[in-house]
Chain A
């Protein structure tokens, strides 16, 4: 079985996000970029399935500009067999990503596609579901446990009420939740090995996918600042202050 893994590059979770002064986006110059944490979990799960002998090949897919290569090398250093870089200078929205993945799925014929449940930049939580619909295959989202046997995946999902276990026929789309696994550390010798692993570069336009904007972003703004607190001397003053604000 072949496993296809979506591997998106996002602003690192440690970075304090800053909105550009003109409100056209967030600052990404000089900002640390790294793999979407849910995608790292997706890749880890794929690698574990391969290590258990349930898959032969793990392919990571990234969609983005030319310098995405370095990011995909990290996925290869973690252990993926090869990478596909779908090259585009444009920002990619979930429907575009799903359409790209659909084209790659047709070509690669994987038994399983594992994606992060959402990316921590746009928090859309759409790509996996859209891909399943376009591909007309089952989906198992928010996975916290995945077991593969007899052409089926048994997936435990994290839902509002608790845990739900479903069985889906393969090929299928699985999206990962936080508790599925803890991704491994990359080892230095594996970074060296990753340098010789193949990365296929495909122009997005050559896939026949419309990368036009389906959604238009009007503007970005930072959350409102918390106003300064007021020190009160005693309970009476506190009550008076609350009354004055009409809160009591």
Chain B
């Protein structure tokens, strides 16, 4: 085999989301001579990012003064905020918690925002490469991170090389910036290798499932922002909805379920569909069309779960580090902030990552997380305790002398029969999509079927035996894209992985109770093709 090709840059960024692109833009603003490239697994920028999204514009103002004169294509000024506690058939409108007031913010599509940021980075001389997945980390002789290896293209399912086989190159760089989003696959390896989480609590996650609807004229009030909690979540499951009125008769809506749920029979996708069927929501959507749909894990561990964000040769920024603010339900401003901070640090320190972690911890981004650090973990003790505690933490500005602990999400699952299952009392529903497969259609996800399965299950014998008995194969329920199925055939009962359906949400990598599922990057360009999510 010929020697692997390499390209050299001063800095390589993994992931063209708000963190990675803001980092690249800021570094080029400060040091135009530094060479920077951004690689992105999606075939086009923004096609695999998903968020609500209401954003705080402050960090964007700092990065790109004047952006308001040429805003991204989906950008609606926030209007009225509503906050509801839902029951199955009704609801009670509550005062909007201070952290969730959105005056001055903007409703955007994060995908469209990234597609708008990328050319601005390119104009500054950043090389942005969509369609290339960072499959592995490249280490230097001293063990430090020296860059990333791009995945091979044209490998068959059985590992043999197809006629078009193209070996992935190595991108070598003085600094590698991980901006992969929640539960990044390379970040996961690096946290383990450099023991970055040793002084932090385990990281926590939620899963957000979203649809973008085109509805009949006259229903949308552009700028209206509605959040709810309560039904269909039971009082021990952390769940809530968002519903944002955009322009052009479009509505972005979704449902977030905390992945620290305990009932092995819980189905996050079904909970979303049940909420859509609620009398407050259904009349808005009836007769409309789904434009796009998808799902993504959200990082929720906050202040106490933040790993060390630097290591020799690399740094972590944005959601792959874990900077999302849960009570605010926002991460984009934190992603941009951390990207800018990292660029400013590297520019000042001669591209040396050392000292970035301390700067991040001393920054506004961490101060914001510290204030709200106790809010999400208290919901483990039930909805009412969580709400009272949230009120206390808000009034005291997070000055409680204690910090509540986070536990890993996979460990929270009860075994079947161990606890009484909540009565779900789900209603028959009529709005599309009928099931998860119908939903995946709207994600326009595409993987060449003849490529190695990118969901590695270390030991499938656990699936057919232990997991079936203990948890009833929860992977068949938590996956929003119906990737995992238990099937019976001549060979007996076995796990079938429909990897081509995968929308890259990473839930399986997080929630599987035996920690045997590992999500790795498929062939570059594979995966969902979201439009304006």
Contacts and interface: CB of A to CB of B under 8 A. Distances in A.
Interface in B95-149: 109, 111-112, 115, 127, 129, 131-132
Nearest to B443: A16
A188 B444 contact: no
Nearest to A13: B446
Given A15-B444, A187-B169, A189-B169, A30 B531 contact: yes
A188 B164 contact: no
B529 interface: yes
Main secondary structure of the interface of A (DSSP, over half): loop
Given A14-B446, A16-B444, A182-B163, A188 B169 contact: yes
Given A191-B129, A192-B7, A185 B529 contact: no
A31 B529 CA distance: 9
A188 B115 contact: no
Contact of B164 (A16, A185, A192): A185
B75 to A, nearest CB: 12
A34 B42 CA distance: 13
A14 B291 CA distance: 14
Q: Which among A15, A30, A191, A192 has the highest number of chain B CB atoms within 10 Å?
A: A30
A182 B127 contact: no
A191 B166 CA distance: 14
Contacts of B249: 21
A30 B529 contact: no
Nearest to A191: B129
B214 A30 contact: no
B129 A15 contact: no
A47 to B, nearest CB: 12
B44 A184 contact: no
Interface size classification for chain B: 35 or more
A15 B444 CA distance: 6
A57 interface: no
Contacts of A184: 164, 166
A188 B129 contact: yes
A12 B42 CA distance: 13
A152 interface: no
B442 interface: yes
Nearest to B127: A192
B73 A189 contact: no
A32 interface: yes
Given A18-B291, A30-B74, A32-B43, A188 B132 contact: yes
B73 A188 contact: no
Nearest to B43: A32
Contacts of B132: 188
Contacts of B169: 187-189
A29 interface: yes
Contacts of B129: 188, 191
Nearest to A74: B131
Max count, chain B CB within 10 A of own CB: residue among A18, A31, A187, A189: A187
B150 A188 contact: yes
Interface in A10-47: 12, 14-16, 18, 21, 29-32, 34
Contact of A185 (B115, B154, B442): B154
A40 B131 CA distance: 16
Contacts of A31: 531
Contacts of B325: none
A62 B403 CA distance: 61
Nearest to A31: B531
B444 A14 contact: yes
Contacts of A14: 43, 444, 446, 529
A109 to B, nearest CB: 32
Contacts of A187: 5, 166, 169
A189 B7 contact: yes
B532 interface: yes
Contacts of B115: 30
A189 B5 contact: yes
B164 A12 contact: no
B324 interface: no
Contacts of A191: 127, 129
Nearest to B74: A30
B50 interface: no
B522 to A, nearest CB: 14
Interface in A170-188: 182-188
B109 A30 contact: yes
A228 B418 CA distance: 41
Contacts of B43: 12, 14, 32, 34
A22 to B, nearest CB: 11
A29 to B, nearest CB: 6
B290 to A, nearest CB: 9
Interface string A182-204: 11111111011000000000000
A14 B292 CA distance: 12
A185 B46 CA distance: 21
B153 interface: yes
Contacts of B25: none
Given A21-B249, A29-B73, A185 B153 contact: yes
B47 interface: yes
A184 to B, nearest CB: 6
A48 B525 CA distance: 24
Interface of A: 12, 14-16, 18, 21, 29-32, 34, 182-189, 191-192
Interface of B: 5, 7, 43-44, 46-47, 73-74, 109, 111-112, 115, 127, 129, 131-132, 150, 153-154, 163-164, 166, 169, 171, 214, 249, 289, 291-292, 441-442, 444, 446, 529, 531-532
The list of the 3 closest CB pairs from A to B, nearest first, reads A185-B153, A185-B166, A32-B44
Given A32-B43, A189-B7, A192-B7, 5 more contacts: A14-B529, A18-B289, A30-B115, A187-B169, A189-B169
16 contacts: A12-B44, A12-B529, A14-B444, A15-B444, A16-B441, A16-B531, A18-B291, A21-B214, A29-B73, A30-B46, A30-B109, A30-B112, A30-B532, A184-B164, A184-B166, A192-B127
